[in-house]
Amino acid sequence: MSNFVVRRLLSVIPVALIVLVTVFLLLHIGPGDPAALIAGENATPAQIEEIRARLFLDRPLIEQLFLYLSQVARLDLGESVYSGFPVLTLIMQRVEPTAMLAVCTLTLSVLIAVPSGVWAAWRAGSAVDTALIIASVLGFSIPVFIVGYILVDLFALRVGWFPVQGYKPLSSGLWSCLRSLMLPSISLSLLFSALVARITRATMIEVLSEDYIRTARAKGAKNGRVLVVHALKNIGVPVVTVVGTSFAALLGGVVITESVFNIPGMGRLTVDAIQTRDYPVVQGVLIVFSFALISVNLLVDLSYALFDPRVRQ
């Protein structure tokens, strides 16, 4: 078990280095002078040179990369060109809304999708199964922002159950925070619920056809015991895998959802930084998103050992 954990932890190091180098090169891939693009059309040569010196763009590329990696190792992501504040400070101010939105979305998705997929597989070919397939197709087909606008019109403007836009921090109370995130979480969770439900259904149907399931039934085991004890624990690996891989799509959906619902999170920070050509902020956000995704994938890999003892070897 310890060897398995060590191997997974060591495999993260080259991936993290590749991410850092890729994010660094994004500033140099585009045409033109990055400092001139950041400064804007009306900038003076002195202002352009000041930005070039601040971002180490006047140094050789290898030296720039070394300085950038050393800064990141010290948790120094630079300063915002637009506001002058440290990038890490700006990110920390926006982490809570995005983290809460991601947690609420994943929780809703799992609570909805896993029971629905299991029930549909148990009743394969029935009206319940057909309804799940149709709902999954709709969940994949309708864009997140359209679902968001529909939910705002129905449950915020007409009924008044939830706020139209904005975010209430945890300091204002857990219920106020969850209430402000309910509509955006539902908008995002429809897509992930559809994906997780389809994978759960397909995996459960395959598991229910295994010999040990037929053996359990032949021994007189009740349906509930067959489903929970013998079948459910064997769908853990594929379900956890799809939940983890969906996290990447969730980060992309956060950018759109936070813009629709005016949530001051990492997605809004990304959009604002792109619009103002604040490249240090864009790089910092990309690093945080990438390392969050790497961490989730690492947790998914480590969780395999809980569901499949063969992985520990």
What CATH number should be reported for the domain holding residue 231? 1.10.3720.10
Count other Cβ atoms within 10 Å, centred on residue 228: 12
Tell me the whole-structure pTM to 2 decimals.
Answer: 0.77
- pLDDT band for position 34 (cuts 50, 70, 90): low
Q: 145 in a domain, yes or no? A: yes
Q: What is the pLDDT of residue 291?
A: 85
Q: What is the pLDDT of residue 123?
A: 76
Of 28-42, 113-127, 253-267, the poorest mean pLDDT is in 28-42
Q: Is the pLDDT of residue 230 over 70?
A: no
User: DSSP of 257-311, one letter per residue?
Assistant: HHHHTT--SHHHHHHHHHHTT-HHHHHHHHHHHHHHHHHHHHHHHHHHHHH-GGG
Q: Do 151 and 271 belong to one domain?
A: yes
Q: Do 32 and 164 belong to one domain?
A: no
Give how many domains the chain has, as a whole number: 2
Q: Do 149 and 269 belong to one domain?
A: yes
Q: Give me the helices (H) in 30-86, please.
A: 34-39, 45-54, 61-73
Of 33-42, 90-99, 109-118, 178-187, the poorest mean pLDDT is in 33-42
- pLDDT band for position 307 (cuts 50, 70, 90): low
Q: 82 in a domain, yes or no? A: no
Q: Is the pLDDT of residue 25 over 70?
A: yes
State which residues form the domain around 104.
94-312
